[in-house]
Amino acid sequence: MKYLHTMIRVNDLDQSIRFYTELLGMNLVSRTDYPEGKFTLAFLSYGKTKDDPCIELTYNYGKSSYEMGDAFGHIALGTQDIYGTCEKLKKAGVKIAREPGPMKHGTTVIAFIEDPNGYKIELIQK
């Protein structure tokens, strides 16, 4: 077995691609339109291909919003400078849902941000 990707549905594909590439430094490794199916898939990764772990952004034509379920938790990313990363993201207008600091009942420094669709992303100081 091998981890391949996590799929999330997005309201504005271009806005979401900009967020993950320009603000979080991921690479757009694939973008494919399926006009007959009325959807577009974009794969983003810190690697170079879809063989690397990816986030799959799914845009369904004509769909402008989704209800957040309560089963999905978050995506987690490691960073060498959590405080600097959060400051840079805050200046870019990213919502910081939890400022950097030690996690409850532990010492690991974490923060939470939200992508343009409201998905939570945990940042972990490495």
- Active site positions, annotated: 122
Distance CA 19, CA 107 (A): 29
31 contacts 55 by C-beta, under 8 angstroms: no
The dihedral built from the CA positions of residue 124, 42, 40 and 116, taken in this order, carries a sign that is positive
Distance CA 115, CA 100 (A): 17
| Residues with Cβ within 8 Å of residue 54, at least 6 apart in sequence | 4, 5, 6, 29, 43, 44, 45, 47
